[in-house]
Amino acid sequence: MIGTNTDDIKIVGIYGMGGIGKTTLAKVYNMLTKDFAYCCSFDDVRETANSKGILCLQNRLISVLSRGEDDGIMMIGERFSLKKALILLDDVGEKSQLIALLGRRCHFGPGSRILITTRNAIVLRGFDVKTYQLFSKHAFRKDHPPPEKLELSREIVKIAKGLPLAIETNKRLEALRLNFDQFWEDSLPLGEFAVLPNLRFLRVEGQLPQSLLIDSQSLNSGSGACNLKVLNLTNCSCLTKTPDLSGLLKLERLILDGCDRLARIDSSIGKLKNLIFLSLISCHELHSLPEELGGLPSLKELLLEGTSIREIPNWWTLEKLENPNTQDSLLVKTSGSIIYPTSSLNLALMDTPIVHRSDFIGALTSLERLNLRRCRHINRLPYLIGKLWSLTELDLFDSGIIELPDSMESLGNLKTLIVYTQSELKGIFVLPKLPVSLTSLAIVSWSMVTVPDLSDLINLNRLMLFMMVRDSSSLESVLDPLPWWVGRLSKLQTLALHIPHMTNLSPELGALSHLKYLKLWGCGRLQCIPQISSSISTLSIMSC
């Protein structure tokens, strides 16, 4: 594409974040210098323009003093309009910088080559025609596609957002799914991957036409794809089965999120002994996992949110999983023996229709975060949860939990506890003694009849206590309506209370010098509010 054997002026724009290949670009520049009468390289256009001004860049280019930007542009045009020049502009920040150096029309002579790198895609706007021709060159080995491929070519260029680097990259990476020569409408073997031995990351977006499929034979060990470490096939809606992955022996991360027609994972996945991460989020048609998946020694993270998987087979142990996130799917089989990951740091079972006993949770001795949101079939936590000394977060939002074990007090590192019941039929009746380590506590219950004693939670800085009632008649049975202990929580910054039967607040409320947010909602029997701290910046009193 850069070829120096033609007289046309070529501008090559490369868009991307830092680390997009400056060393390689410098090598290309050095190789080309011998063919040009004028050569100039700018290492950091954006930084130089910001710190020293655009005049400095113009002066470097023309090597003479200039009275202003317009004069500089005129002098560049006069001096280089007939000269074959090679210009490297690295890290251009704004289009105005290009205009100041190149003019609105390139002021260099026939055969000139301008290389531009930028982190701002807008800088390269206006390259549409060239990127279209670039794509055609790589796909069809000529400037224009055949008539029958015209619309599809335009669509691919549109998806690439007109960026030359995206088109240049697609020449190599799109080979995963495109056969530009023979199988355009079907699939393409990875013939060109053989020239990409350094390829480590490949992402295939699902926006391409559905006719562009993946060839299961294309990921063989003889192709350049054999060195891939990350394969991202997000939203490939035409994918019904994963390709043969046996050639990707170095693969560490496989992402299949949003492949909503994916129904089968090829058994070749069992050969990926280096696979650490597998994400199957929102693969709605996926009902089972292949047996070979159980033999992956390096697998540490599995994401099954939004799949139709309802059980993990008996043959599969999860000892090595660090983050078994199983939102919207069932981690635990109701029969058989499953070994749970005792080294887990984060267990998220949110939206999971678990019917299995929750005793396994007590064995996760390294667990730091436990998320049981909307796990409505779990009614109680095991007593052994008190052994989870590393646990810092416990989220029981809209779960079926109606009782917390007394061992909760032993969770010496617990910082955040959420017990939030939305159903009028369920809820925590009584709170056990909670660990002093708590800094954030949210309690919402329809069943609690006694204001809990939270006087020991001296480290709390956020407290939400909502004691919901079904009707006014139930208020008469409520005991101890006054949260007398509020004044003792000296570190409180946020306090939200909904206690319909409460008639008074503790007079010590005014002593909370760190309190910034106070919300009282639905406290219909509240007679007066004591003096509050001057530190409060937000006061909300509703339906009182």
Residue 136: name the closest of 183, 161, 171 by CA: 171
d(CA 531, CA 534): 9
Least confident of 95-109, 202-216, 250-264: 202-216
Residue 381: name the closest of 413, 399, 359 by CA: 359
Of 87 and 459, the structure prediction assigns the larger pLDDT to 459
Instruction: Decide the pairing of beta strands 113-118 and 85-92.
Output: parallel
pLDDT band at residue 452 under the 50/70/90 scheme: confident
* Cα–Cα distances in angstroms (integers) from residue 328 to residues 248, 306, 353, 501, in the given order: 29, 5, 8, 38
CATH number for the domain formed by residue range(s) 336-448? 3.80.10.10
Q: Note whether 10-125 and 336-448 share their fold.
A: no
d(CA 349, CA 423): 19
Of 503 and 351, the structure prediction assigns the larger pLDDT to 503
pLDDT band at residue 333 under the 50/70/90 scheme: very low
Q: Is the pLDDT of residue 461 over 90?
A: yes
Tokens of 230: 């990350």
pLDDT at 328: 41
* First-to-last C-alpha distance (Å) of the chain: 73
Fold of 181-309: 3.80.10
How would you class 65 by CB atoms within 10 Å of its CB: exposed for 0-12, middle for 13-18, buried for 19 or more?
A: exposed
What is the chain's mean pLDDT, rounded? Answer: 68
Of 443 and 183, the structure prediction assigns the larger pLDDT to 443
Do the Cβ atoms of 398 and 420 come closer than 8 Å? yes
pLDDT at 413: 93
Percent of the chain at pLDDT exceeding 70:
54
pLDDT tens digits, residue range 25-45? 666 777 777 777 667 777 777
- Which ranges of 63-119 does DSSP label H, i.e. alpha helix? 69-80, 95-102
Tokens of 63: 């090597």
pLDDT band at residue 441 under the 50/70/90 scheme: very high
Residue with tokens 């937000």: 538
Single-letter amino acid, residue 359: D
State which CATH number among 3.40.50.12780, 3.40.50.300, 3.30.450.20, 3.20.20.220 fits the domain covering 10-125: 3.40.50.300
Single-letter amino acid, residue 282: S
pLDDT band at residue 408 under the 50/70/90 scheme: very high
Residue 13 three-state SS: strand
Residue spans of the domains in the chain: they are 10-125, 181-309, 336-448, 471-544
pLDDT band at residue 493 under the 50/70/90 scheme: very high
